Amino acid sequence: MNNNKLLPGDYQLFLFKALILLGLAWGSFALALVGFFYASLVWAAALIAGIWLTRKAIRLGVPFKISRELIFVSIAFLFVVTFFSFFSQPSVFTGRDPGSFSEAAARLAQNHKLEFSTPASDEFFKLHNPGRALNFPGFYYTASGELITQFSLVYIAWLALFFAVFGVTGFLIANAFLLFTFLLSFYLMLRLFLKTSSALPIMLLTSTSFVFMWFSKFTLSENIALPLVWLTILALMLFLKNQRKLYYLVFLSSVFLLCFARIEGISFLIASIIIVSLNKDARAFVQKNIISRFFLPAFILFLFFITNAYVDVYFYKEILKALLPSVSLPQAKYLGEIKNSILPDFYSVKIFYLYGVLGFFIVGGFATLQTLWKKEFYKLVPFFMILPTFVYFFDSQITPDHPWMLRRFMFSLIPCAIFYTGLLLGKWFEAKNIKTKTLAALISLVLLAMNLPAFLKYVSYTENEGLLSQTQTLSLKFSANDLILIDREATGDGWSMLGGPMNYLYGKNAVYFFNNQDLTKLDTSSFSNVYLIAPSKQVPFYLSSTIGERLTETDSYTFKTNRLDVERSNKLDKMSLPAKKEITISGKIFLIKK
């Protein structure tokens, strides 16, 4: 283990702090499961637990003095995540996963439980059976007519913890904590094998990678999987070398939580069990007190799994739909009707090149093969841990529009490639041969040059800038007792629908509306007025439809914002980074006669 300037307590203190963050995540997750979510309880419990753990750590002799190096890199990483957050907008608009995660978190913080209903959802439930709530993307109707999320709960509970305190800005703060934890975990992993002078250039490459910067702007479960995966691997590697209880506790806490944060977490758990069982010292540590170190944790995991499977049943239904071959996979719109499981040849390779990660896969792949050849199994722990996710190279189970499809590679495969790239280049940097050092420097510069085009183009870019404030202004036109039906393209983008934020942020009965026939069956007597918001291009459709005679124009609206103009071609020679596009969308507001 190459500690160089790091103090012996640096790893222990970092994992001690990580344990407190894990406690926050576990506490919020547990309260969400039992339907008694109060953020104040979690924060208070974390504070008390932190004080208790600190006193216990002092009695056990855990050193609290940290090295200047760790202080320096912590400040540097704090600057990085703050910079990314500054150029981000909360992803609150519904229609795609980020908006659904945000809404579920906000609802949990507001209602203190996962299930909720609104006057609008109650009326639309009368038209549908329990199951997918098509008018409320990302949610299902329960048997009693309440709405509940279809996504994993750990990230939702984590977001709710910060939303309850900071509002929508809390989403950015929540992601910043996660990215900061990943960067420190990743750096400390590199420092197990490299000197400071070799690890820092690799962290520069990591911090300028498009994927970490871009997806930290959105509320996606990959953001919480990223630190959990690498915190798990760090704690596991430390535990394999030195069987401290702290390392084992952090390892179990993170890998168990990962099982509920992402479905891939189960494969990480299985891989880690195999790794521990193959290590003589680690196996002996567990066997020495097998009741408390294996069976008790396994029992707790089982209880959480049963409870989570019952409460979050719709998440597992979605997973089964994706896995069963009888269910159609999502269609890739801008690749014609090509399914994501049969992408054009070299499509992913071109995407990896555009966003600067292809070089890491090439160099990291070579480094991994070299490590396998040398049988340096301790260095291969990260590889064996994330090995199950290699399936995403062949079938990513996601629509292949870029940069969206990169989220499947963001939390395990890309960091793994960077890690092994770092091990190879780091050793070359530390070599005595000047030619080897020069080669390492040249390859690093090439990788940085591949990173920078996508990174610099989007690092200060925020999608939907100003749209939330314009949505709030539009909301003021309606009362809390009006029913507002909203066309999918009201903002000019079906992935950025108004219904969610108008409802859960501004208290309006706004609903995504797509079926005119619903209006003939809907009981609107309990609402003061019923309105339709439609973009100008859809106005002729509504006026000529079966509800046209009931529409009276009362107002208009205009949105000005920005989005990425994603390339709509599957021809490799035409693919490029999406252009930044200024959007102006106008539409009409109609009063619908009851």
CA 66 distance to own-chain centroid: 30
Q: How many CB atoms lie within 10 A of CB 289?
A: 10
- pLDDT at residue 326 is higher than 60: no
Separation between Cα atoms, residue 458 and residue 577, nearest integer Å: 10
Contacts of residue 222, Cβ cutoff 8 Å, sequence gap at least 6:
215, 262, 407, 408, 410, 411
The confidence score (pLDDT) of residue 339 equals: 39
Structure tokens at 270: 């299985």
**Does residue 357 contact residue 348 with C-beta atoms inside 8 Å?**
no
The confidence score (pLDDT) of residue 387 equals: 95
In sequence order, what are the beta bridge partners of 555?
589
% of the chain beyond a pLDDT of 70: 92
Structure tokens at 126: 């009368």
- pLDDT at residue 93 is higher than 90: yes
- pTM > 0.95: no
Separation between Cα atoms, residue 309 and residue 332, nearest integer Å: 30
Structure tokens at 591: 């009063």
**Strands, E, within 408-541: which ranges?**
483-486, 509-512, 530-535
| pLDDT one-digit tens code per residue, 263-292 | 999 999 999 999 999 999 999 999 999 999
Please state the rounded mean pLDDT for residues 350-377.
94
% of the chain beyond a pLDDT of 90: 77
Q: Which of 228, 280, 274, 279 is CA-nearest to residue 250?
A: 228
In sequence order, what are the beta bridge partners of 312?
none
Task: Return the exposure string of 487-511: e unless at least 16 CB atoms fall within 10 Å of the residue's CB, then b.
Answer: bbbbbbbebbbbbbbbbbbbebbbb
Residue 71 identity: I
The confidence score (pLDDT) of residue 345 equals: 47
Q: How many CB atoms lie within 10 A of CB 291?
A: 8
Residue-by-residue DSSP string for 30-95: HHHHHT---HHHHHHHHHHHHHHHHHHHHHHT------HHHHHHHHHHHHHHHHHHHT------BS
Backbone angles phi, psi at 14, to 5 degrees: -60, -45
Place 432 in a pLDDT band, splitting at 50, 70 and 90: confident
Contacts of residue 76, Cβ cutoff 8 Å, sequence gap at least 6:
none
Separation between Cα atoms, residue 329 and residue 295, nearest integer Å: 39
With vertex at residue 509, the alpha carbon angle to CA 153 and CA 476, rounded to the nearest 5 degrees, is 115
Please state the rounded mean pLDDT for residues 16-36.
94
Structure tokens at 157: 């509970």
- The dihedral of CA 519, 521, 522, 523: what is its sign? positive
- pLDDT at residue 143 is higher than 70: yes
Separation between Cα atoms, residue 51 and residue 377, nearest integer Å: 38
Residue with the two structure tokens 């250039």: 201
Backbone angles phi, psi at 137, to 5 degrees: -55, 135
Q: Which of 525, 526, 542 is CA-nearest to residue 487?
A: 542
Separation between Cα atoms, residue 176 and residue 459, nearest integer Å: 15
- pLDDT at residue 222 is higher than 50: yes
Within 13 Å, how many C-alpha atoms sit on residue 93's CB side? Answer: 23
Residue-by-residue DSSP string for 156-194: HHHHHHHHHHHTTHHHHHHHHHHHHHHHHHHHHHHTTTS
| 3 state SS of 337 | coil
The confidence score (pLDDT) of residue 446 equals: 96
In sequence order, what are the beta bridge partners of 565?
579
Give every strand in the sheet of 530-535, ordered side by side: 509-512, 483-486, 530-535, 579-592, 551-565
Structure tokens at 353: 């090149």
| 3 state SS of 89 | coil
The confidence score (pLDDT) of residue 5 equals: 65
Contacts of residue 22, Cβ cutoff 8 Å, sequence gap at least 6:
250, 253, 254, 257
Run of H or E residues at 296: helix 296-311
Place 333 in a pLDDT band, splitting at 50, 70 and 90: very low
- pLDDT at residue 337 is higher than 50: no
Residue 93 identity: F
Mean pLDDT of the chain: 90
Give the torsion through C-alpha atoms of 104, 211, 347, 396, to 10 deg. -40
Separation between Cα atoms, residue 440 and residue 422, nearest integer Å: 10
Run of H or E residues at 416: helix 413-429
Separation between Cα atoms, residue 530 and residue 524, nearest integer Å: 7
Beta strand 530-535 with 483-486: parallel, antiparallel or unpaired?
parallel
The confidence score (pLDDT) of residue 567 equals: 59
Structure tokens at 588: 């009409």
Separation between Cα atoms, residue 65 and residue 67, nearest integer Å: 7
Residue-by-residue DSSP string for 106-147: HHHHHHSSS-B--HHHHHHHTTS-SEE-TTSTTEEE-TTS-E
Backbone angles phi, psi at 88, to 5 degrees: -130, 155
Residue 506 identity: Y
Residue 158 identity: W
CA 379 distance to own-chain centroid: 27
**Does residue 411 contact residue 216 with C-beta atoms inside 8 Å?**
no
Structure tokens at 5: 């300037």
The confidence score (pLDDT) of residue 54 equals: 78
Least confident of 71-85, 170-184, 383-397, 438-452: 383-397
Please state the rounded mean pLDDT for residues 519-545.
94
- pLDDT at residue 172 is higher than 80: yes
Place 331 in a pLDDT band, splitting at 50, 70 and 90: very low
The confidence score (pLDDT) of residue 243 equals: 94
Please state the rounded mean pLDDT for residues 242-260.
95
